[in-house]
Amino acid sequence: MSDPTRPRGPKIIAVANQKGGVGKTTTAINLAAALAEANNRVLIVDLDPQGNASTGLGIDADDREYTTYDLLLDEIPLNDVIQETENKNLLIIPATVDLSSADIELFSNEKRSFLLHDALRQTAMDAYALDYILIDCPPSLNLLTVNAMVAAHSVLIPLQSEFFALEGVSQLMLTIREVRQTANPNLRIEGVVLTMFDARNNLSGAVEKDARDNLGALVFKTRIPRNVRVSEAPSYAVPVLDYDTTSKGAQAYRDLAKELMKNQTRAAA
């Protein structure tokens, strides 16, 4: 039975696409930074063994003593795994390559699909007063991604503006449906965001039309442009909002955050 005296928990969003190179981690980092800039308390859970979200937010490999691996498998206290970043209101649970073996180790655990769900709902989380948790999923439909979907309220799908993009999304939709049927009946699709969009390119326009024709209102109005500043920012270990705050990429992620927050307000009404 839930405790009515506990504060309402944060909105948990899994950022997922099993296809690599679609702007998944870039979207997780910069959307989180934009939400934090708008005075939300945000936690990124780096669930990708590549640890790119951790690197992109300036967490050196030597500073990742405890990671999502420890959170899932060793029940390390939250205050040991949650780290502050250089961005106000933005926290992270980092990842290392150790996470790549988690799939095998999780398999024998009876609660293997619910470990992240339980970890993010422990009472110790209340002290962080979070508004949002964004989970940066690995680029595959493995047990880590299933953990993210079981833990999340919704799934945000970055969709690269390229040929065959929607084919990968259809497989992801099947996984979401399966998770709904077996473990998380309230899981919904937060939306699909078009990334690396080039308005001068006919292909980008064709992909957008295809996406909107097939997915309708699920596709965010905001499009993330192909922008050199967005590409450069990770090499400086900062979000694009800090690297070039006036760039088109930075403004697009602010617009995406506003659209997402507006959708949340509408859903709560």
pLDDT in tens, 94-127: 999 989 888 788 877 778 899 999 999 999 999 9
Q: Is the pLDDT of residue 16 over 50?
A: yes
Secondary structure of residue 248 in the 3-state scheme: helix
CB contact set of 125 (below 8 Å; sequence gap of 6+): 9, 10, 78
Of residues 17 and 4, more confidence is placed in 17
Q: Find residue 156's DSSP bridge partners.
A: 15, 191
Looking from the CA of 138 toward its CB, the CA atoms found within 13 Å total: 21
Averaged pLDDT score across all residues of the chain = 91
Say which residues have a Cβ less than 8 Å from residue 89's Cβ, sequence separation at least 6.
36, 37, 39, 40, 41, 42
DSSP secondary structure letter of residue 201: -
Name the DSSP letter for residue 6.
S
DSSP for 68-95, please give it: HHHHHHT---HHHH-EE-SSTTEEEE--
pLDDT of residue 1: 44
Is the pLDDT reported for residue 4 higher than 60?
no
Decide: 12 and 152 in contact? Cβ < 8 Å: yes
Token output for 215: 């997915």
Angle at 66 between CA 62 and CA 67, to 5 degrees: 100
Q: Are 141 and 175 in contact (CB under 8 A)?
A: yes
Q: What is the pLDDT of residues 221-252, one digit of tens each?
A: 999 999 999 999 999 999 999 999 999 999 99
CATH topology of domain 11-268: Rossmann fold (3.40.50)
Q: Where is pLDDT greater, at 3 or 82?
A: 82
Domain regions of the chain by residue span: 11-268
The confidence score (pLDDT) of residue 188 equals 96
Digit-coded pLDDT (tens) for 130-172: 999 999 999 988 999 999 999 999 999 999 888 777 777 888 9
Rounded alpha-carbon distances, angstroms, from residue 4 to 1, 8, 110, 120, 188: 9, 9, 28, 18, 24
What is the percentage of the chain residues whose pLDDT exceeds 90? 73
Is the confidence at residue 32, as pLDDT, over 90? yes
Please report how the helices 24-37 and 248-268 are oriented relative to each other, as an axis angle in degrees rounded to 10: 70
Residues in contact with 240: Cβ distance below 8 Å, sequence separation at least 6, in sequence order: 30, 33, 227, 229, 230, 233, 247, 249, 250, 253
Please give the structure tokens belonging to residue 159: 């969709």
3-class SS of residue 219: strand
Give the position of tokens 């998380």: 184
Which H or E element spans position 242? helix 240-243
